[in-house]
Amino acid sequence: MEDQALFYRDTWAEVDLDSVAANINGLKTLLAKGTQMIAVVKANAYGHGDAQIAETALESGASYLAVAFLDEAIALRKKGIAAPILVLGASRAQDISIAAKHEITLTVFQEEWLLEAKKYMTNDLQVKVHIKIDSGMGRIGVKTPDELQSVEQMLREDGRFLIEGVFTHFATADELDNSYYQRQLTQFNEMVHSMKEKPELIHASNSAAALRHPEAHFNAVRMGIAMYGLTPSIEIEPEIPFPLKEAFSLHSKLIHVKRLRKGEKVSYGATYEATEDEWIGTIPIGYADGWIRRLQGQEVLVEGMKVPIVGRICMDQCMLKLPFHVPVGTVVTLIGKQKGNQISINDIAARLQTINYEVPCIISNRVPRIYRKSGRMVDMKNSILSY
Ligand SMILES: *Cc1c(COP(=O)(O)O)cnc(C)c1O
Ligand 1, atom 6: closest residue by C-alpha: 224
Ligand 1 lining (C-beta closer than 6 Å) = 40, 42, 88, 169, 206-208, 222-225, 232
CA–CA gap between residue 311 and residue 267 (Å, rounded): 5
How many whole angstroms separate alpha carbon 62 and alpha carbon 38?
A: 6
40 C-alpha to center of ligand 1: Å? Answer: 7
Considering the chain, what percentage of its residues have pLDDT values greater than 90? Answer: 95
Q: Is the pLDDT of residue 355 over 70?
A: yes
- Return the C-alpha torsion angle 69, 76, 200, 90, nearest 10: 10
For residue 119, give the amino acid letter: K
Task: Kindly give the distance from the C-alpha atom of residue 174 to the centroid of ligand 1, in angstroms, as a whole number.
Answer: 11
Predicted local distance difference test score (pLDDT) of residue 2 = 52
What pLDDT does residue 3 have? 59
pLDDT digits (tens, 9 = 90+) for 251-288: 999 999 999 999 999 999 999 999 999 999 999 999 99
| Alpha carbon of 237 to ligand 1 centroid (Å) | 17
**Is the per-residue pLDDT at 125 higher than 50?**
yes
Per-residue pLDDT, 144:
97
The atom number, within ligand 1, closest to the CA of 174 reads 7
- Residue among 169, 221, 227, 248 to mutate when testing ligand 1 (max atoms within 8 A of CB): 169
Using pLDDT thresholds of 50, 70 and 90, give the confidence band for residue 378: confident
Residues catalogued as catalytic: 42, 268
Asked if pLDDT for residue 387 goes beyond 70, the answer is no
Nearest-CA residue for ligand 1 atom 10 is 206
Ligand 1 center–CA 8 separation, angstroms = 34
**CA nearest neighbour of 338 among 254, 257, 249, 228:** 249
